[in-house]
């Protein structure tokens, strides 16, 4: 399985779905390239769950092709009220606190 993300202009969320195999990924990538080149008005794909997804070519902001499942490497991340911080980094400062040198 391979995760695909499509960013849509003026939309707060991405369209996220998975494709079964490399053949489906190659066909989808060709369809996106044709749409971006102006040769098609829509991009359509059927995901691994059987859902058909149609996107207007003019509304595509970006398409992200993820790595095949099992080969993804994630950086360990810690989330806090201050924001995203990499594990092992200094913790966020509290109000008025200074870093020691």
Break the chain into its structural domains and give their ranges: 2-86
Give the C-alpha separation, 71 to 85, whole Å.
Answer: 23
- Range scoring the smallest mean pLDDT among 20-29, 30-39, 43-52, 87-96: 87-96
Is the whole-model pTM more than 0.95? no
Alpha carbon distance 65, 45 (integer Å): 14
Q: Determine the pLDDT at residue 65.
A: 86
pLDDT of 34 above 70 = yes
Q: What percent of the chain has pLDDT over 70?
A: 65
CATH T-level assignment (fold) for domain 2-86: SH3 type barrels. (2.30.30)
pLDDT of the residue at 92: 59
Cβ contacts of residue 80 below 8 Å, gap of 6+? Answer: 91, 92
Q: Give 60-90 pLDDT, tens digit per residue.
A: 998 988 866 655 554 444 444 444 444 455 5
Looking at the predicted structure, is the pLDDT value of residue 39 above 70? yes
């Amino acid at each position: 399985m391979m995760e695909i993300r499509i960013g849509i202009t003026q939309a707060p969320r991405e369209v996220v779905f998975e494709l079964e195999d490399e053949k489906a990924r190659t066909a989808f990538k060709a369809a996106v390239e044709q749409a971006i080149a102006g040769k098609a008005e829509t991009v359509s794909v059927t995901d691994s769950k059987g859902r058909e997804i149609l996107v207007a070519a003019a509304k595509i902001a970006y398409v992200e092709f993820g790595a095949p499942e099992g080969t993804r490497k994630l950086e360990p991340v810690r989330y806090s009220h201050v924001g995203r911080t990499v594990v092992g980094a200094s913790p966020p400062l509290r109000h008025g606190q200074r870093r020691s040198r």
